[in-house]
Amino acid sequence: MAQPLEQSVTPIAANPPATSNNTTTLPDLESIPSQIGTAVLHSTTGAPVRPNTGQLTDADAQILYRMLLEVGTALDSSGNKDMGGSEDEGLRRVTVGFHSVSYNMTVGAEGYIYIVKCRQ
C-alpha cells in the first residue's frame, strides 16, 4: 500500500481527531444508496482511518484530499469571523461531479473526512 504524500500545509480542520485509545464509531457509508466506493481520512494528515472500499482508490482519495487542502481556509471556520461569520459557518461538504460519477466529501466534527463515490 502506498504511503500518503507528506503535506507541508496548515491542517484544514480546526478540531483534529482525539488521540485516545477509545475508538470512534464511524458511520456506515456502505448503506448510502448508489455508492460504489468509500474512504475515511484524517483531516489533518489525509491518512486513511480504515481501508477504502469499492471503486474508490487510494490515489482518488489523495487527489480529493489535496483538492480540499486548496480550499482549506474555507474549512477552517475561524477564518470566516473576519467576514462577519460565526464559528458554525465553516465548509462542511463538497461535491465534485462528473458525467457518470460524483465524489461527495464531508468534514465530520470528529476530525475525519468522509468520501463517498456515487453513480450518477
Query: What pLDDT was estimated at residue 103?
Result: 95
**Residue 86 grid coordinates:** 460565526
Q: Which residue has the cell 468520501?
A: 115
User: Which residues are CB-contacts of 108 (< 8 A; sequence separation ≥ 6)?
Assistant: 114
Q: CA-CA distance, 89 to 66, in Å (whole number)?
A: 21
Query: What pLDDT was estimated at residue 85?
Result: 52
Q: Report residue 41's pLDDT band, with 50, 70 and 90 as the boundaries.
A: very high
Q: Are 91 and 75 in contact (CB under 8 A)?
A: yes
Query: What pLDDT was estimated at residue 3?
Result: 44
Reported as a single tens digit per residue, the pLDDT across 7-20 is 433 344 444 444 44
What is the identity of the amino acid at 32? Answer: I
Hey, what CATH topology would domain 33-82+89-119 get?
Beta-Lactamase (3.30.450)
Residue 108 vs residue 102, higher pLDDT: 102
Reported as a single tens digit per residue, the pLDDT across 46-68 is 999 999 999 999 999 999 999 98
Per-position b or e across 92-107, b if 16+ CB within 10 A of its CB: eebeeeeeebebbbbb
Q: Are 63 and 41 in contact (CB under 8 A)?
A: no
